[in-house]
Amino acid sequence: MPVVTVQVPAGALSDTQKASLISKVTDVVVEVEGFPALRPSVHVLIEEVPAGGYGIGGRPLDVEKARAALAKATASTAQQ
């Protein structure tokens, strides 16, 4: 029984995004294993790390600032 753990900052994903992530991770595990009958046994755990407990590059991650930066970067790329 494969178990995949995904850690994300608390509040970073909506319930819809979590459901999509679980589905897609399961698809990848089944594809890599090459054994479709494995699907019911694939476990995907999404662990939400509380604010202050998640950092990138030696700095605490602020989810709202990260979302704003991503939105800005996405808008900039779309305009090119």
Position 80 scores a pLDDT of 66
CATH architecture of 3-79: 2-Layer Sandwich (3.30)
Burial class for 9, CB neighbours closer than 10 Å (0-12, 13-18, 19+) = buried
Position 10 scores a pLDDT of 86
Position 52 scores a pLDDT of 80
Position 48 scores a pLDDT of 93
pLDDT tens, residue by residue, 16-75? 999 999 999 999 999 999 999 999 999 999 999 887 887 778 888 777 777 777 788 888
Q: What is the pTM of this model?
A: 0.74
| 45: CB partners within 8 A, 6+ apart | 3, 4, 5, 6
Tokens standing for 33?
């294993």
Chain centroid to CA 12: how far? 8
Q: E strands, the chain, where?
A: 3-9, 43-49, 55-56, 59-60
